[in-house]
């Protein structure tokens, strides 16, 4: 009988110790995640998008389930790095996590307009109007105005391409960045 009591106490001590280790690991992961989120937000504020992306990815790795702050932070970092496809993917993930997030719907709409995907932008405008909040209505109106301006610009650019095909190569008439001027030394 005494032998069984000793084994039982050993198992109880092992179980309690294991539970305490698991709790400590859980809290350590939470601390690393929160520190990474704060670092990512600070990097975003200073427009250091690469480091912000890395910090948010680290926070994502230490998250047991998706966190809206992390997902939106990764999306904003991708947008800063001009990776519009990845930014759209992460904003769509944010909308799946929080369907009534007006800002994410708006950002998706802007990215759709940037890609000339007017149908998807219209879907985001409708989704914003369906949320029926003051913020979402402001975003929907803003997105609708930008969509209209983009459609008009696209219409005139199509006409210009048909009338004068080489005209779109003039800097300022297209969305391509203007190349930097070369100095006389570089031309030789």
Q: What are 31-83's pLDDT values in tens digits?
A: 888 898 899 999 999 999 999 999 999 988 888 888 899 999 999 999 999 99
More confident of the two residues 28 and 123? 123
Give the start-to-end residue ranges of the domains of the chain.
26-84, 99-169
| Predicted pLDDT at 36 | 87
Q: What is the 3-state secondary structure (H, E, C) of 68-123?
A: HHHHHHHHHHHHHCCCHHHHHHHHHHHHHHCCCCHHHHHHHHHHHHHCCCHHHHHH
The residue with tokens 């250091």 is 48
Q: Among 93, 77, 87, 90, which Cα is nearest to 43's?
A: 77
| pLDDT band for position 181 (cuts 50, 70, 90) | very low
**In whole angstroms, how far apart are CA 162 and each of 91, 116, 117, 154, 165?**
36, 19, 21, 12, 6
pTM, entire model = 0.70
| pLDDT band for position 4 (cuts 50, 70, 90) | low
Q: What are 82-98's pLDDT values in tens digits?
A: 999 999 999 999 999 99
| pLDDT band for position 167 (cuts 50, 70, 90) | low
Q: Report the distance separating Cα 128 and Cα 141, nearest Å.
A: 9
62 phi and psi, to 5 degrees? -95, 10
pLDDT at 129 over 90: yes
| Predicted pLDDT at 70 | 93
Residues 6+ apart with CB under 8 A from 54: none
pLDDT at 174 over 60: no
Q: Report the distance separating Cα 134 and Cα 13, nearest Å.
A: 57
| Predicted pLDDT at 169 | 64
pLDDT at 149 over 50: yes
More confident of the two residues 161 and 132? 132
Return the number of other C-beta atoms located less than 10 Å from residue 144's C-beta. 16
């Amino acid at each position: 009988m005494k032998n069984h009591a000793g084994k039982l106490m050993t198992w109880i001590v092992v179980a309690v110790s294991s539970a305490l280790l698991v709790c400590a690991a859980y809290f350590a992961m939470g601390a690393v995640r929160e520190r990474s989120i704060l670092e990512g937000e600070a990097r975003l504020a200073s427009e250091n998008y690469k480091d912000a992306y890395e910090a948010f990815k680290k926070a994502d790795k230490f998250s047991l389930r998706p966190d809206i702050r992390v997902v939106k932070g990764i999306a904003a970092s991708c947008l800063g790095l001009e990776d519009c496809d990845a930014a759209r993917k992460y904003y769509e993930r944010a909308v799946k996590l929080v369907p009534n997030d007006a800002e994410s719907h708006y950002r998706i709409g802007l990215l759709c307009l940037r890609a000339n995907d007017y149908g998807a932008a219209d879907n985001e405008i409708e989704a914003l109007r369906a949320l029926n909040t003051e913020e979402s209505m402001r975003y929907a109106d803003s997105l609708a105005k930008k969509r209209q301006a983009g459609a008009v610009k696209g219409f005139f650019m199509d006409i210009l391409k048909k009338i004068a095909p080489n005209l779109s190569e003039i800097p300022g008439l297209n969305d391509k960045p203007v190349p930097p001027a070369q100095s006389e030394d570089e031309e030789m």
